[in-house]
Structure 1
Protein backbone atom coordinates (compact mmCIF):
# COMPACT_ATOMS: atom_id res chain seq x y z
CA UNK A 1 0.00 0.00 0.00
CA UNK A 2 1.27 3.45 -0.92
CA UNK A 3 2.10 5.89 1.87
CA UNK A 4 0.61 9.37 2.02
CA UNK A 5 4.04 10.83 1.20
CA UNK A 6 4.26 8.65 -1.92
CA UNK A 7 0.73 9.60 -3.00
CA UNK A 8 1.40 13.33 -2.60
CA UNK A 9 4.75 13.10 -4.42
CA UNK A 10 3.08 11.08 -7.19
CA UNK A 11 0.49 13.78 -7.75
CA UNK A 12 3.26 16.37 -8.16
CA UNK A 13 2.82 18.21 -4.86
CA UNK A 14 5.70 20.46 -3.94
CA UNK A 15 6.94 18.69 -0.82
CA UNK A 16 8.13 21.45 1.48
CA UNK A 17 9.73 20.42 4.77
CA UNK A 18 6.43 21.16 6.53
CA UNK A 19 4.30 19.12 4.13
CA UNK A 20 6.75 16.24 4.27
CA UNK A 21 6.71 16.16 8.08
CA UNK A 22 2.90 16.27 8.20
CA UNK A 23 2.60 13.46 5.65
CA UNK A 24 5.17 11.40 7.54
CA UNK A 25 3.16 11.78 10.74
CA UNK A 26 0.48 9.69 9.02
CA UNK A 27 3.04 7.39 7.36
CA UNK A 28 4.65 6.62 10.73
CA UNK A 29 1.49 4.84 11.83
CA UNK A 30 2.34 2.05 9.37
CA UNK A 31 -0.05 -0.87 9.82
CA UNK A 32 -1.71 0.84 12.80
CA UNK A 33 -4.57 2.86 11.36
CA UNK A 34 -5.10 6.19 13.07
CA UNK A 35 -7.55 9.09 13.10
CA UNK A 36 -5.61 12.12 14.30
CA UNK A 37 -6.86 15.55 15.30
CA UNK A 38 -5.02 18.60 13.97
CA UNK A 39 -3.54 19.06 17.45
CA UNK A 40 -2.29 15.44 17.40
CA UNK A 41 -0.62 16.10 14.04
CA UNK A 42 0.88 19.37 15.33
CA UNK A 43 2.28 17.68 18.44
CA UNK A 44 3.94 14.92 16.41
CA UNK A 45 5.18 17.33 13.72
CA UNK A 46 6.74 19.73 16.25
CA UNK A 47 8.75 16.83 17.67
CA UNK A 48 10.44 16.54 14.27
CA UNK A 49 10.29 20.14 13.01
CA UNK A 50 10.02 22.52 16.01
CA UNK A 51 9.42 25.63 13.89
CA UNK A 52 6.24 24.29 12.23
CA UNK A 53 3.21 26.43 13.08
CA UNK A 54 -0.36 25.53 14.00
CA UNK A 55 -1.60 27.50 10.96
CA UNK A 56 0.66 25.51 8.63
CA UNK A 57 -0.66 22.23 10.02
CA UNK A 58 -4.31 23.31 9.68
CA UNK A 59 -3.77 24.73 6.18
CA UNK A 60 -1.88 21.65 4.99
CA UNK A 61 -4.53 19.28 6.38
CA UNK A 62 -7.18 21.34 4.56
CA UNK A 63 -5.20 21.09 1.31
CA UNK A 64 -4.83 17.33 1.76
CA UNK A 65 -8.59 16.97 2.33
CA UNK A 66 -9.36 19.14 -0.72
CA UNK A 67 -7.00 16.98 -2.80
CA UNK A 68 -8.78 13.82 -1.64
CA UNK A 69 -5.65 12.40 -0.02
CA UNK A 70 -6.97 12.59 3.56
CA UNK A 71 -10.54 12.32 4.87
CA UNK A 72 -11.95 14.77 7.41
CA UNK A 73 -13.96 12.62 9.82
CA UNK A 74 -16.52 14.20 12.12
CA UNK A 75 -18.13 11.82 14.56
CA UNK A 76 -20.25 14.33 16.45
CA UNK A 77 -17.82 15.48 19.15
CA UNK A 78 -16.97 18.76 17.34
CA UNK A 79 -13.39 17.64 16.76
CA UNK A 80 -12.33 16.83 13.22
CA UNK A 81 -10.10 13.85 12.86
CA UNK A 82 -8.01 13.16 9.78
CA UNK A 83 -7.96 9.75 8.14
CA UNK A 84 -5.30 8.91 5.52
CA UNK A 85 -7.18 5.74 4.51
CA UNK A 86 -8.67 6.81 1.18
CA UNK A 87 -7.86 3.68 -0.81
CA UNK A 88 -11.17 1.89 -0.19
CA UNK A 89 -14.63 2.99 0.80
CA UNK A 90 -15.06 2.34 4.49
CA UNK A 91 -17.24 3.19 7.46
CA UNK A 92 -16.27 4.13 10.98
CA UNK A 93 -16.95 2.43 14.29
CA UNK A 94 -16.84 4.83 17.25
CA UNK A 95 -16.49 3.67 20.85
CA UNK A 96 -18.84 5.74 23.03
CA UNK A 97 -16.62 5.10 26.07
CA UNK A 98 -13.02 5.78 24.96
CA UNK A 99 -13.80 7.66 21.70
CA UNK A 100 -11.57 5.34 19.64
CA UNK A 101 -12.38 5.23 15.94
CA UNK A 102 -11.96 2.08 13.87
CA UNK A 103 -12.28 1.55 10.13
CA UNK A 104 -14.44 -1.20 8.72
CA UNK A 105 -14.55 -1.90 4.99
CA UNK A 106 -17.88 -1.10 3.34
CA UNK A 107 -18.17 -4.65 2.04
CA UNK A 108 -18.11 -6.01 5.60
CA UNK A 109 -20.78 -3.66 6.96
CA UNK A 110 -22.80 -2.32 4.03
CA UNK A 111 -24.44 1.08 4.44
CA UNK A 112 -28.05 1.89 3.76
CA UNK A 113 -29.17 0.55 0.41
CA UNK A 114 -29.03 3.43 -2.10
CA UNK A 115 -32.11 2.02 -3.85
CA UNK A 116 -34.06 2.50 -0.59
CA UNK A 117 -32.92 6.12 -0.41
CA UNK A 118 -33.88 6.69 -4.06
CA UNK A 119 -37.39 5.37 -3.32
CA UNK A 120 -37.77 7.82 -0.42
CA UNK A 121 -36.39 10.80 -2.34
CA UNK A 122 -37.08 10.35 -6.06
CA UNK A 123 -34.68 12.28 -8.26
CA UNK A 124 -32.07 12.63 -5.54
CA UNK A 125 -28.61 11.62 -6.76
CA UNK A 126 -26.38 10.13 -4.07
CA UNK A 127 -22.75 11.15 -4.48
CA UNK A 128 -21.34 9.90 -1.18
CA UNK A 129 -22.37 8.57 2.21
CA UNK A 130 -20.73 8.74 5.62
CA UNK A 131 -21.75 5.92 7.93
CA UNK A 132 -20.79 5.91 11.60
CA UNK A 133 -21.61 2.99 13.86
CA UNK A 134 -21.53 3.70 17.60
CA UNK A 135 -21.06 1.27 20.44
CA UNK A 136 -18.36 -0.07 22.74
CA UNK A 137 -15.02 -1.45 21.65
CA UNK A 138 -13.69 -4.75 22.96
CA UNK A 139 -11.54 -2.99 25.59
CA UNK A 140 -14.46 -0.97 26.99
CA UNK A 141 -17.15 -3.67 27.06
Structure 2
Protein backbone atom coordinates (compact mmCIF):
# COMPACT_ATOMS: atom_id res chain seq x y z
CA UNK A 1 0.00 0.00 0.00
CA UNK A 2 1.36 3.45 -0.82
CA UNK A 3 0.12 4.97 2.47
CA UNK A 4 -0.20 8.36 0.79
CA UNK A 5 -2.71 9.64 3.35
CA UNK A 6 -0.44 8.70 6.25
CA UNK A 7 2.55 10.41 4.66
CA UNK A 8 0.53 13.57 4.05
CA UNK A 9 -0.69 13.63 7.66
CA UNK A 10 2.90 13.28 8.88
CA UNK A 11 3.91 16.26 6.75
CA UNK A 12 1.09 18.35 8.22
CA UNK A 13 -0.44 18.83 4.76
CA UNK A 14 -3.63 20.89 4.98
CA UNK A 15 -6.35 18.29 4.40
CA UNK A 16 -9.48 20.00 3.05
CA UNK A 17 -12.33 17.72 2.00
CA UNK A 18 -11.42 18.23 -1.68
CA UNK A 19 -7.71 17.54 -1.21
CA UNK A 20 -8.49 14.55 0.98
CA UNK A 21 -10.70 12.93 -1.65
CA UNK A 22 -7.97 13.35 -4.29
CA UNK A 23 -5.45 11.70 -1.95
CA UNK A 24 -7.91 8.90 -1.13
CA UNK A 25 -8.46 8.20 -4.84
CA UNK A 26 -4.70 7.94 -5.38
CA UNK A 27 -3.88 5.87 -2.31
CA UNK A 28 -3.21 2.18 -2.92
CA UNK A 29 -1.04 -0.35 -4.70
CA UNK A 30 -0.60 -0.31 -8.49
CA UNK A 31 -2.47 3.01 -8.78
CA UNK A 32 -1.55 4.86 -11.99
CA UNK A 33 -4.52 7.09 -12.80
CA UNK A 34 -4.70 9.95 -15.28
CA UNK A 35 -5.85 13.35 -14.02
CA UNK A 36 -9.24 12.79 -15.69
CA UNK A 37 -9.59 9.41 -13.96
CA UNK A 38 -8.74 11.03 -10.62
CA UNK A 39 -11.34 13.73 -11.34
CA UNK A 40 -14.04 11.18 -12.22
CA UNK A 41 -13.40 9.10 -9.10
CA UNK A 42 -13.11 12.16 -6.86
CA UNK A 43 -16.39 13.71 -8.10
CA UNK A 44 -18.14 10.36 -7.61
CA UNK A 45 -17.19 10.61 -3.92
CA UNK A 46 -17.47 14.40 -3.54
CA UNK A 47 -19.50 16.00 -6.36
CA UNK A 48 -18.43 19.57 -5.52
CA UNK A 49 -14.72 18.95 -6.19
CA UNK A 50 -13.65 20.96 -9.24
CA UNK A 51 -11.36 20.09 -12.13
CA UNK A 52 -9.04 22.95 -11.08
CA UNK A 53 -8.80 21.62 -7.53
CA UNK A 54 -7.93 18.12 -8.77
CA UNK A 55 -5.27 19.40 -11.18
CA UNK A 56 -3.82 21.82 -8.59
CA UNK A 57 -3.75 19.11 -5.93
CA UNK A 58 -2.00 16.67 -8.29
CA UNK A 59 0.57 19.35 -9.11
CA UNK A 60 1.16 20.04 -5.43
CA UNK A 61 1.52 16.33 -4.59
CA UNK A 62 4.10 15.96 -7.37
CA UNK A 63 5.98 19.07 -6.17
CA UNK A 64 6.01 17.65 -2.63
CA UNK A 65 7.48 14.39 -3.95
CA UNK A 66 4.53 12.39 -2.62
CA UNK A 67 3.27 11.38 -6.07
CA UNK A 68 5.30 10.68 -9.22
CA UNK A 69 4.20 11.56 -12.75
CA UNK A 70 4.56 8.60 -15.08
CA UNK A 71 4.38 8.92 -18.87
CA UNK A 72 4.55 5.94 -21.21
CA UNK A 73 4.43 5.95 -25.02
CA UNK A 74 3.07 9.50 -25.31
CA UNK A 75 -0.07 8.58 -23.43
CA UNK A 76 -1.58 10.88 -20.80
CA UNK A 77 0.43 11.49 -17.64
CA UNK A 78 -0.43 9.11 -14.85
CA UNK A 79 0.03 9.67 -11.15
CA UNK A 80 1.81 7.06 -9.01
CA UNK A 81 1.55 7.37 -5.19
CA UNK A 82 4.31 4.82 -4.69
CA UNK A 83 6.90 7.61 -4.57
CA UNK A 84 9.09 6.38 -1.72
CA UNK A 85 9.80 2.75 -2.60
CA UNK A 86 12.10 2.22 -5.57
CA UNK A 87 10.33 0.33 -8.34
CA UNK A 88 9.97 -0.01 -12.08
CA UNK A 89 6.85 -0.28 -14.22
CA UNK A 90 5.35 -3.08 -16.28
CA UNK A 91 3.21 -1.58 -19.04
CA UNK A 92 0.67 -3.38 -21.24
CA UNK A 93 1.30 -2.52 -24.89
CA UNK A 94 -2.38 -3.12 -25.61
CA UNK A 95 -4.46 -1.28 -23.02
CA UNK A 96 -1.77 0.77 -21.25
CA UNK A 97 -2.36 -0.75 -17.78
CA UNK A 98 0.64 -0.16 -15.51
CA UNK A 99 1.81 -2.35 -12.63
CA UNK A 100 4.59 -1.62 -10.14
CA UNK A 101 7.34 -4.24 -10.16
CA UNK A 102 10.29 -4.72 -7.83
CA UNK A 103 12.95 -6.77 -9.63
CA UNK A 104 16.04 -7.78 -7.72
CA UNK A 105 19.34 -6.09 -8.37
CA UNK A 106 20.48 -2.54 -8.91
CA UNK A 107 19.58 -1.12 -12.34
CA UNK A 108 22.49 1.34 -12.01
CA UNK A 109 24.90 -1.57 -11.78
CA UNK A 110 23.65 -2.84 -15.15
CA UNK A 111 25.22 0.18 -16.89
CA UNK A 112 28.93 -0.52 -17.27
CA UNK A 113 31.42 2.30 -16.66
CA UNK A 114 32.35 2.27 -20.36
CA UNK A 115 28.74 3.23 -21.23
CA UNK A 116 28.45 6.08 -18.69
CA UNK A 117 30.53 8.50 -20.80
CA UNK A 118 31.79 10.28 -17.71
CA UNK A 119 28.28 10.88 -16.31
CA UNK A 120 27.73 10.59 -12.60
CA UNK A 121 24.60 8.43 -12.88
CA UNK A 122 22.22 8.82 -9.94
CA UNK A 123 19.02 7.14 -11.12
CA UNK A 124 17.67 4.67 -13.64
CA UNK A 125 14.14 4.30 -14.98
CA UNK A 126 13.32 0.87 -16.35
CA UNK A 127 10.04 0.12 -18.10
CA UNK A 128 9.04 -3.43 -18.97
CA UNK A 129 6.53 -3.84 -21.79
CA UNK A 130 4.28 -6.68 -22.83
CA UNK A 131 0.64 -7.75 -22.96
CA UNK A 132 -1.46 -8.09 -19.82
CA UNK A 133 -3.44 -11.35 -19.47
CA UNK A 134 -6.67 -9.69 -20.73
CA UNK A 135 -5.05 -8.25 -23.88
CA UNK A 136 -3.13 -11.47 -24.54
CA UNK A 137 -6.38 -13.47 -24.28
CA UNK A 138 -8.20 -11.03 -26.59
CA UNK A 139 -5.42 -11.40 -29.17
CA UNK A 140 -5.62 -15.18 -29.05
CA UNK A 141 -9.36 -15.19 -29.58
Q: TM-score range by the shorter chain?
A: 0.7 to 0.9
> Is 1:123 matched up with 2:118?
yes
TM-score normalised by the chain length of structure 2: 0.85
> Is 1:18 matched up with 2:15?
no
CA offsets per residue over residues 64-88 of structure 1, 9 Å max, x none?
A: 1111111110012330001111232
Asked if structure 1 preserves the Cα contact closer than 8 Å seen for 2:34 and 2:76, the reply is yes
**Secondary structure at the residue paired with 2:134?**
coil
TM-score normalised by the chain length of structure 1: 0.85
**Secondary structure at the residue paired with 1:21?**
helix
Gapped runs of 5+ residues in structure 1? none
Gapped runs of 5+ residues in structure 2? 137-141
2:85 to 88, 92, 95: 88
> Is 1:138 matched up with 2:133?
yes
Asked if structure 1 preserves the Cα contact closer than 8 Å seen for 2:66 and 2:84, the reply is no
Asked if structure 1 preserves the Cα contact closer than 8 Å seen for 2:2 and 2:81, the reply is no
Moved more, 127-136 or 13-22: 127-136
RMSD, aligned CA: 2.0
| C-alpha separation in 2, matches of 1:95 and 1:114 | 24
